[in-house]
Amino acid sequence: MSIVGDQFARVALSVLVFDRTGSPAWTALTYGLTFLPDLVGGPLLSGLADRHPRRGLMVTVDLTRMLLVAAMAVPGAPLWVVCVLLVAVQLIGAPANAARGALLPAVLGEDHYPAGQAVMQTVTQAAMVLGFAGGGALVATIGTSGVLLADAGTFLLSATLVWWLVRPRPVPEADGPSGSAARRTWWTDLTHGAGLVWTDLRLRALVLFACASGFYIAGEALAVPYADALGGGAVLVGFMFAAYAAGAAAGMLLVARLPLPARLRLLSPLALGACVPLVVCFTDPHLVLVVLLFVASGAGSAYQVIASTSFVLAVPDERRGQAFGLAVTALRVAQGLGVMLAGLAAEVAAPHQVVGSAGLLGVLAVLAIGWTWRTAGGHAHTLNASRA
């Protein structure tokens, strides 16, 4: 529910900034603000998910974000105030996202976790389709302030559902030099989590696969000016956003049905499939083909469910919150930088040229990451489910 509201807000803010400034760069920079705060929140705040009850943390964060988004909806609020509130919303979301990512294996058990994570990400993408497709129509109907209030309401509903339906679980016991959760600090969580990820080549390769999304996200980043160049309005923007999410949802459903060895073998090819369709945008295709290319790119991005489940299961439960937060930090920073660089490039080049260039750079990056993955033995049939 909160993801639906978030996409409402992303469409509303993109339209709001583009209407006020007429600048693709400012529009993309504002969109990028929904990603970059993880540079701070991921490393410094994700460890809270390993030191506090995860259900309570998720509820507290959702209620706080409800208040902040409601403040963004005040009519006539200066853009700088909206941007500050947007950063705050994203910043405090880091520990909630880490808690959710770490809690899912405990709910399902490690045997069922990969399929469950695929279902979770499929539902997430379906929610993004609904939010993006409906967001454009809502902006046209009730305006940006109304859409932001709807987003605030979804945070309240999310908090209520988590409190009602998720049973409380104790804080995971920690072994090793950092001791119990009571003796752990953000510094010990950060250093141990970073050391765990940095010293394992497979984990590093999985994080790099996640970061490849910083290339193919260019299509989303430039959806507003791209739609404008194609002669569309707010409704068209929503459907361009939704095209990628629809492809991702379909791809994840198919990936979830495959056995583990097949999923691991498809990791690199699917990552390439997320980037290759965007290269076709160099030809400045018609709107219908652009939407289909975005759908194909989204389908390729289903490799993210393979990378994320392999990563989480390779980390012990008492470190999953921090490690997950670090991985998400790298992912979000890569996406945020990709969004902003695409916007800046669109100031001097046509949107279709920027999207095509991003796709080509993504292909080159994925080829290099795939070589690292094979060197680390990641093409083997299994990854260790936990480490000492």
Strand, helix or coil for residue 380 = coil
Two tokens at 329? Answer: 């930090």
Distance of alpha carbon 253 from alpha carbon 36, whole angstroms: 29
- Higher-confidence residue of 333 and 38: namely 333
Report which residue type is found at 196: L
pLDDT in tens, 61-80: 999 999 998 998 888 778 77
Q: Per-residue confidence at 14, pLDDT binned at 50, 70, 90?
A: confident
CATH code: domain of residue 127: 1.20.1250.20
pTM beyond 0.75: the answer is no
pLDDT in tens, 17-56: 777 777 777 777 776 666 667 677 777 777 787 888 889 9
In a domain, 173, yes or no: no
Distance of alpha carbon 18 from alpha carbon 229, whole angstroms: 13
Length of the chain: 388
In a domain, 322, yes or no: yes
In a domain, 333, yes or no: yes
| Mean pLDDT computed over every residue of the chain | 80
Q: Give residue 296's pLDDT.
A: 94
Q: Give residue 164's pLDDT.
A: 94
Distance of alpha carbon 54 from alpha carbon 321, whole angstroms: 9
Two tokens at 353? Answer: 């040229």
Provide the phi-psi class of 176: left if phi over 0, else alpha when psi is between -120 and 50, else beta.
left
Distances, alpha carbon 171 to alpha carbons 59, 261, 280, in Å: 16, 33, 49
Asked whether the beta carbons of 58 and 372 are under 8 A apart, the reply is no
* pLDDT at position 115 over 50: yes
- Higher-confidence residue of 358 and 259: namely 358
DSSP code for 166? S
Range of the domain at 303: 2-168+179-375
Distance of alpha carbon 363 from alpha carbon 379, whole angstroms: 19
Helices 287-300 and 260-279: angle between axes, nearest 10 degrees: 150
Distance of alpha carbon 167 from alpha carbon 178, whole angstroms: 27
Q: Give residue 184's pLDDT.
A: 57
Asked whether the beta carbons of 311 and 104 are under 8 A apart, the reply is no
First vs last C-alpha separation in the chain: 37
In a domain, 230, yes or no: yes
- Higher-confidence residue of 162 and 143: namely 162
In a domain, 297, yes or no: yes
Look at residues 16, 12, 10, 1 and name the one whose alpha carbon lies nearest to residue 32: 10
Look at residues 200, 207, 386, 195 and name the one whose alpha carbon lies nearest to residue 308: 207
CA-CA-CA-CA torsion sign (237, 239, 243, 249): positive
* H helical segments located in the chain: 2-21, 24-32, 38-45, 48-51, 54-72, 79-108, 113-165, 186-198, 201-211, 213-216, 218-221, 223-229, 234-256, 260-279, 287-300, 303-313, 317-345, 351-375
In a domain, 112, yes or no: yes
Q: Per-residue confidence at 109, pLDDT binned at 50, 70, 90?
A: confident
In a domain, 262, yes or no: yes
CA-CA-CA-CA torsion sign (82, 88, 91, 94): negative
- Name the most confidently modeled range: 257-261, 293-297, 337-341: 293-297
Name 262's Cβ contacts closer than 8 Å, sequence gap at least 6.
none
Distance of alpha carbon 230 from alpha carbon 285, whole angstroms: 10
Q: Give residue 179's pLDDT.
A: 45
Distance of alpha carbon 29 from alpha carbon 52, whole angstroms: 34
* pLDDT at position 233 over 50: yes
Distance of alpha carbon 349 from alpha carbon 193, whole angstroms: 41
Distance of alpha carbon 115 from alpha carbon 305, whole angstroms: 9
Asked whether the beta carbons of 322 and 135 are under 8 A apart, the reply is no
Look at residues 256, 304, 13, 289 and name the one whose alpha carbon lies nearest to residue 143: 13
In a domain, 385, yes or no: no
The count of domains in the chain is: 1
Q: Which residues of 145-162 are buried (b: 16+ CB within 10 A; e: fewer)?
A: bbbbbbbbbbbbebbeeb
Out of 237-241, 249-253, 311-315, 365-369, least confident range? 237-241
Q: Give residue 108's pLDDT.
A: 85
Q: Give residue 379's pLDDT.
A: 56
